[in-house]
Structure 1
Amino acid sequence: MSGDDERDQVRRGYDALSYHYRSDDADDGQYAPWLADLRRRLPTPAAVLDLGCGCGVPVARSLAEAGHHVTGVDISDVQVERARRLVPTGTFLRADATRLDLPAASFDAVVCLYALIHMPLADQPGLIDRIATWLRPGGWLLTTVGKDAWTGAEDNWLGGPAAMWWSHADAATYRSWLDRAGLMVTTEEFVPEGTGGHTLFWARRPPAVATA
């Protein structure tokens, strides 16, 4: 498949599986401690970019309820329509995250949970580089990525009516991409899922150096 074919498979998959993947009233689940930690790190109000925002639950909803300004981006029309309804104070864009053009130093945090791994691998290092520029000095990136390298698809994902596609490097490669982008990794932890799992990173753009 070409990169565009892969993007279309992910978009079609989430259009078909949106409600199957997460209901309107889903709780924060495994995201809860990550979001609580993020809220503690943010100024109030903060500007937060949620890449792969899905239906807006739980990330955008949690942050918006805490008084932050949230911009969500997702490749699925259905997900974005739901996010606009479920998080009416947020701003939501239907776009390919790897092709975004956003102002430099415009966000206090970027959240990208279980989304980078749905993007063509060749585009991921460049996106991480751009995320670093979108962060303000001292800003945070919270992301989940692969633990081991793998690319593949699954028919009838989650028992639903559509296929899904993934592509990710291993954790050491992501660490090197974050470092190359000028982001300081402060936490790296394994997040189990089924017989495998993912890697969660907290990474920070260095704070501005005070001058006399």
Structure 2
Amino acid sequence: MDPKEIVRRGYDALSVRYDEAYGGESKYGPWIDRLLERLDDGSRVLDIGCGSGLPLARDLAAAGHAVTGVDLSEVQIRRARELVPEAEFVHADAASLAFPAESFDAVVSFYALIHLPQDEQQELLRKVARWLRPGGWFVCTTGSQGWTGVDGDWLDSGVSMWWSHADADTNRAWITGSGLVVEEQEFVPEGAGGHTLFWARRPF
């Protein structure tokens, strides 16, 4: 099966369970607070892999920012539109997105790039750099160690999920190679492994 179809079916089946299992409210809270401190009033923000819209799109919209969320899962998008009616949500493959240059003050992607093939991850990063206004922020989580594969029993549900991780150094090279400057990098532990959180910026 096409890896993206595995991802789509997985999130369609486990949208609510994913929110419950990964505690986005507590995990993303400090990251959202840091982003809000760096945004001007009324900023335009793109959320790639927005999921159900909680908590990122909700919190940014509540703070007065114009949020556009994109997700491959129709169920996730339906829930996001119900839960965060103030934001705009698009059901689409992130790799197919097209926006005018300098459309956004910030682009955020938490745990979504890792669901794309690695060549598409690199192309999407180049697009992000073009979509950001000078000085705009890109905040993302990526892999920490290289690995590509399927979990056939994701969240102990019998549902499959697919990922493709590059290691942290490779991800950093891809981000800087797109024309962005990495301002901060930190390891985010999870179970026996973890992910990498990057804060990057388009130069003025």
User: Which TM-score tier does this pair reach, normalised by the shorter chain?
Assistant: over 0.9
Q: Does 1:44 align with 2:20?
A: no
1:35-67 deviations in Å (ceiling 9; x for gaps) = 000000001110000000000001101101111
When the two structures are superposed, what TM-score results if normalisation uses the length of structure 2?
A: 0.97
What percentage of residue pairs aligned between the two structures are identical?
A: 56
What is the DSSP-based 3-state SS (H/G/I as helix, E as strand, rest coil) of the residue aligned with 2:159?
coil
CA RMSD in angstroms comes to 1.0
Q: Give distance in 2, aligned partners of 1:190 and 1:147.
A: 8
1:5-154 correspondence to structure 2 within 5 Å: 5-22=2-19, 28-154=25-151
Cα displacement (A) at 1:27 = 6.3
Q: Report deviation, 1:161.
A: 3.7
Residue 180 of structure 1 pairs with residue 177 of structure 2: yes
* 160-169 vs 66-75, which moves further: 160-169
Where structure 1 has 5 or more consecutive residues not aligned to the other structure, the ranges are 208-212
Match of 1:210 in 2: none
Unaligned runs of 5+ in 2: none
Q: Which entry has the higher C-alpha Rg, 1 or 2? A: 1
Q: TM-score by structure 1 length?
A: 0.93
**Deviation sequence 1:72-95 (CA, Å, 0-9, x none):** 000000000000000001100000
| 2:170 counterpart of 1:170 | no
Q: Does 2:189 align with 1:204? A: no
Q: How many pairs were matched up?
A: 202
CA distance in 2: counterparts of 1:120 and 1:180, whole angstroms: 18
